[in-house]
Amino acid sequence: MDHPTTGARRGAATLALGALGVVFGDIGTSPLYALQTVFSIDHNTVAATPDDVYGVISLVFWSITLVVSVKYVVFILRADNDGEGGVMALAALARTAVRPHGRRFGLVMLLGVLGASLFYGDSVITPAISVMSAIEGLSVGAPSLAHLVVPIGAVIITALFATQRFGTAVVGRLFGPVMALWFVVLAVLGLGQVVRDPAIITGLSPHHAVAFVVQHPFVAFVAMGAVVLSITGAEALYADMGHFGRGPIRRAWFVVVFPALTLNYLGQGALILEDPAAAESPFFRLAPEALRLPLVVLATIATVIASQAVISGAYSVSRQAERLGYLPRLTVLHTSKQERGQIYVPAVNWSLFVGVVLLLVTFQSSERLATAYGLAVTGTFLITTTLFLIYAQSAWGWSRGRLLALGVPLALLELTYFGANVTKLFHGGWLPVLIALLVATVMLTWQRGRTLVTQRRSEMEGPLEPFVDWLHEDPVTKVPGTAVFLHPDKHSTPLALRENAMFNHVIHETVLVVSTSAENVPFVADEERVVLDHLGDPYDAITHLTLRFGFQEDQDVPRALGVARDLGIIDVDPDTAYYFLSRITLQRGPGAEMGAWRKRLFLGLAHNAASPTQYFRLPEDRTVAMGAAVVL
């Protein structure tokens, strides 16, 4: 029998292996295009000279060290929202730490929205650039096949998105071993070239980066816009923390990923010094000619895995944004009975698919796509750093000196990345900015419209407690059974309840007014799931329940009511109860609280929102919808 410590070690190793497949796919495939972009003809500034090559290698190494190892692995991973990470989770976490209704209260969620919006831009570009950079290896080994790169890329992307509905449970088991093989190949390819030119190891010294910046400030500034490609995917370390935990992620990074990336970039640098023409495709030229085609196949598989991680991340970010009130109800399908985090969101999936295919057809090369990549990544870095510093001060009580010690170096570095990529705004960099602006507009419009509709609805429904008093004064006919009325809060009367009592003159023997609450944590324990309010009279048949859900959970109302029954909070059977929905029909009015175009956008979003019956997991044969019109 294994010793418990042995079992724990095996479990930790399994998690670390899984982290290789999901967490590090994006940053692990960066060697395919990072140095190639730095030395590309389009830049025409960075030369294959010893000073420039050593300077670039030093910049790449210290960028990875400071941003990934120090910022994300050492510090950012400590800011977990009940075990979950990501920019929206960090914003929700920071919001709980700052003073309510203060300036920073609204700022943190605005930053969260902007960060999530930039992540969508990243989610569109990553599959396109990753798959294209891998397939372009064909043109190195077989130049006559170069014209097939875009069609093959389109086929792979189509297959990737078409199979999302089946989930990643089966293929996910292959992710870790495949990516482990990928990192071994990265290390071996780089090590072979380093052995031939050991002097390249001195490129790790920071003095080369400093000398490069001092001697060629403009060249270094332009190079920084491409050097940042070596740390794309760093935000996945944080976003996927909930799947594996910070320990396995840290071990996988320091033991496998960081050394493999360092060796590969050193090898590419040595190869460029040996043969400047190799700068056109330094990664694939590291391999012997006979092995380049198998390397293309392995690289393509690795980039598909990297793309899968970003797509899954987009699903999670979308659900977090929806739970926090910044997107309408989404149809979310679970693809695994064991892992609740494995979900499929059709609307997000096909929106990303259209965007990725358009990028493939428009840009047609990873080098051109790289010009559009940096702004989304660097913008997300800056937002994450800002949110973390706000949280560290508010929740952990960090002193100003400690905040400056971490914040100033990161701000200088990340602002340089961002500034270098702003120069590419009119050469493709506009794309992630446009995507982010569109997504942010949708989120902020939905949040504003939702607030206005709630106000209008409350005015029309009237307060709940006077309505309960009216029922005592003018009793209506009671019919057997339990009626569950889903309603946003306990202060106003559900329209369906009011209609049933005032026009049909009947009410059920037991009435539950149920509100769902999306909390600022990913998951809520069942013991804390239900909050009971007797509305002033514990013997009355009308009771209000608040069902609390985390932003990573399904709002399954019947299951939550079953929890309330098992805990002895209520004495009803959710499997025999009838569920009533107050269906609101929205109409555009003359009010000036929102612009006409934003009203049209909000109404379009509301029209395409997921069905509340499916969203709350209600039984269709026992669900009744009663509606009214609300003018926006």
Q: Tens digit of pLDDT for each residue in 554-565?
A: 889 999 999 999
More confident residue, 45 or 296: 296
Instruction: Extract the tokens encoding 41.
Output: 């003809």
Q: If you average pLDDT over residues 384-392, what whole number do you get?
A: 93
Which range, of 236-250, 332-346, 357-371, 579-593, averages the lowest pLDDT?
332-346
176 within 8 A of 21, measured Cβ to Cβ: yes
- Amino acid 69: pLDDT: 94
Global confidence as pTM: 0.79
Angle at the Cα of 44 from the Cα atoms of 38 and 49, rounded to 5 degrees: 70
More confident residue, 469 or 280: 280
- pLDDT bin (cut points 50, 70, 90) of residue 203 is very high
- Judged against a pLDDT cut of 70, whether residue 44 lies above it is answered with no
- pLDDT bin (cut points 50, 70, 90) of residue 200 is very high
- Amino acid 416: pLDDT: 92
Residues whose CB is less than 8 angstroms from the CB of residue 531 and which lie 6 or more positions away in sequence, other chains included: 545, 546, 548
Angle at the Cα of 278 from the Cα atoms of 274 and 283, rounded to 5 degrees: 110
Domains present along the chain, CATH in parentheses: 21-428 (1.20.1740.10), 458-631 (no CATH)
- Judged against a pLDDT cut of 90, whether residue 11 lies above it is answered with no
- Judged against a pLDDT cut of 90, whether residue 263 lies above it is answered with yes
- Amino acid 571: pLDDT: 86
- pLDDT bin (cut points 50, 70, 90) of residue 236 is confident
- pLDDT bin (cut points 50, 70, 90) of residue 261 is very high
Nearest to 183, CA basis, from 288, 31, 10, 311: 31
Q: If you average pLDDT over residues 182-208, what whole number do you get?
A: 95
- Amino acid 266: pLDDT: 97
Which range in 188-192, 311-315, 495-499, 569-573 is most confidently predicted, on average pLDDT? Answer: 188-192
Which range, of 112-126, 135-149, 413-427, averages the lowest pLDDT?
135-149
- Amino acid 187: pLDDT: 97
More confident residue, 148 or 559: 559
- Amino acid 2: pLDDT: 43
- Amino acid 5: pLDDT: 43
- Judged against a pLDDT cut of 60, whether residue 41 lies above it is answered with no
The amino acid that residue 174 corresponds to is L
- Amino acid 454: pLDDT: 81
Q: If you average pLDDT over residues 606-626, what whole number do you get?
A: 86
What is the rounded CA–CA span in Å between residue 533 and residue 539?
12
Nearest to 501, CA basis, from 542, 535, 529: 542
3-state secondary structure of 542: strand
Q: If you average pLDDT over residues 415-435, what whole number do you get?
A: 84
> What average pLDDT does the structure give for the chain?
84
What is the rounded CA–CA span in Å between residue 524 and residue 56?
47
- Amino acid 466: pLDDT: 80
557 within 8 A of 484, measured Cβ to Cβ: yes
- Virtual torsion, Cα 84, 87, 58, 226, nearest 10 deg: 140
- Judged against a pLDDT cut of 80, whether residue 262 lies above it is answered with yes
Which range, of 28-42, 263-277, 386-400, averages the lowest pLDDT?
28-42
Q: If you average pLDDT over residues 5-25, what whole number do you get?
A: 65
What is the phi/psi pair of residue 88, to 5°?
A: -70, -40
What is the rounded CA–CA span in Å between residue 133 and residue 90?
32
- pLDDT bin (cut points 50, 70, 90) of residue 4 is very low
Q: Tens digit of pLDDT for each residue in 358-379?
A: 888 888 777 777 777 778 888 8
Quote the strand ranges of 519-606, DSSP E. Answer: 530-533, 542-549, 578-587
